[in-house]
Amino acid sequence: MKKTVTTLADGRELIYYDAGDDTVRTAVDPRPLTPVVSRSEIRIDVLTGDPVAVASHRQSRTHHPPADACPLCPARAGHESEIPDEGYEVVVFENRFPSLSGGAGRCEVVCFTDDHTASFADLTEERAALVLGAWTDRTAALAALPGVEQVYCFENRGREIGVTLPHAHGQIYGFPYVTPRTAAIRRRIDEHRAETGRNLFDDVLARERADAERIVLETEHWTAFVPYAAHWPYEVHLYPRRRVPDLLALDGPARTECAQVYLELLRRFDRIFGPGEPPTPYIAAWHQAPFTDARRADFGLHLELFTVRRAPGKLKFLAGTESGMGAFMNDVRPEEAARRLREVATDR
């Protein structure tokens, strides 16, 4: 993997990731941009203790531009872009409209392909591995920034999820705090250790493998399953068989297999609702241990992949109990979701 670091016209960092060591990147951003002025504010909810980022500058961010004005497509004559080169493999750059900024964390955009019509599931294994390499490299870079406590790599796909740019891309957040979900998992890890003397992630994986009814797929290094108490209609968790705290700690064989398994899961998601249905909207979220956690080795790296579509033409909208109280009710039995995800395996 070759990494080429440059800057955009307004001073934001842009990084090319190429599979070939002989690739040369020399394009310069010609746009007359002024430096981005954005400053997020972190406030604390006094009732829950949860941090909330206030980022009012994001109100003017780009919203569903026409395809010929996509800011994530390569630059060309008559089309200015966030990526000034005429083509690219994988690119990461600082978000022009960040949720976290001004010393309160960092937000980056990851473009998986220069093909405007492709999705992550369309990538080759080699390209998916390059994206994984970029995630890993940026995890290390953001973790080294002053004040960053947790690094989160994720992809939102589909208008139903709220995506405002259809070009295949994800984001990486360097949070200046431990996110509420991770903090809750951290508490459960400690409680489980106190109750049983064992690791929570190890026991969850052992239980799912022993039960097997909710297993979606297994390989030598990874296990994918629908969790026992899934929140979403179709939700899959992907665990490495050997617990590690983050992407940086994956060994070579697990890293190689990760790209293959991830692509298979995304392709199955697009088959859930049958032929003729539009692409399945989803969120793919990589959970990594906070870098400030003294007991981070107890945390288990894992992917949470889920969709808000519950049936053809029907979405799961959060009800008042879910939005207001965080009390989830699932319309699809987890065992049935797992069965369906086994049925739509690519090799069938």
329 within some domain = yes
Mean pLDDT on 5-10: 96
Residue 157 pLDDT > 70? yes
Cβ-in-10-Å burial (0-12, 13-18, 19+) of 197 comes to exposed
Of 179, 202, 220, the position where a domain reaches its end is: 179
Q: Is the pLDDT of residue 62 over 90?
A: no
Pair (15, 106) in one structural domain: yes
Confidence band of 60 (pLDDT split at 50, 70, 90): low
Instruction: Give pLDDT, residue 156.
Output: 96
SS3 101: coil
Asked whether residue 63 falls in the same domain as residue 206, the answer is no
pLDDT at 59: 61
For the residues 193-211, what does the mean pLDDT come to? 98
- Answer whether residue 90 shows pLDDT above 70: yes
Domain count, the chain: 2
Residues 255 and 117 in one domain: no
Residue 314 lies in a domain: yes
Same domain, 207 and 129: no
Q: Are residues 151 and 224 in the same domain?
A: no
**To 10 degrees, what angle do helices 200-211 and 180-196 make?**
80
Report the Cα 47 to chain-centroid distance in Å: 29
154 and 251 both lie in a single domain = no
Residue 169 annotated to the active site: yes
In this predicted structure, what is the pLDDT of residue 61?
62
Do 259 and 138 fall within a single domain? Answer: no
Annotated active-site residue in 169, 192, 237, 287: 169
pLDDT band at 199 (very low <50, low <70, confident <90, very high): very high
Cα–Cα distances (Å) from 215 to 142, 224, 232, 263, 346, in that order, read 33, 6, 16, 17, 16
What does the pLDDT look like over 119-128, one tens digit per residue?
999 999 999 9
User: Which residue, 310, 301, 174, is CA-closest to 250?
Assistant: 301
Q: What is the pLDDT of residue 101?
A: 87
Let me know the angle formed at the C-alpha of 222 by 219 and 224, rounded to the nearest 5 degrees: 95
Mean pLDDT, rounded, for 145-150: 95
Which domain range does residue 110 map to?
2-179
Beta-strand runs (E) in 241-317: 282-287, 302-307, 309-311, 314-315
86, 160: one domain: yes
* Residue 347's pLDDT band (cuts 50, 70, 90): low
Q: The domain spanning residue 271 has which CATH number?
A: 3.30.428.10
Domain match, 106 and 7 both: yes
Among 129, 149, 179, residue at a domain's last position:
179
Identify the domain boundary among 144, 179, 214: 179
**Percentage of residues in the chain having pLDDT higher than 90:** 88
Q: Which of 45-59, 255-269, 280-294, 322-336 has the lowest mean pLDDT?
A: 45-59
Q: What is the pLDDT of residue 77?
A: 86
Alpha-carbon distances of 222 from 189, 205, 228, 242, rounded to whole Å = 21, 10, 18, 8
348 falls within a domain: no
226 and 170 in a common domain:
no
- Which pLDDT belongs to residue 224? 98
Segment 251-261 shows an average pLDDT of 97
Q: What pLDDT shows up at residue 78?
A: 84
Q: Are residues 81 and 132 in the same domain?
A: yes
pLDDT at site 102: 77
Q: Do 200 and 326 belong to one domain? A: yes
Residue 119 CB neighbour total at 10 angstroms = 21
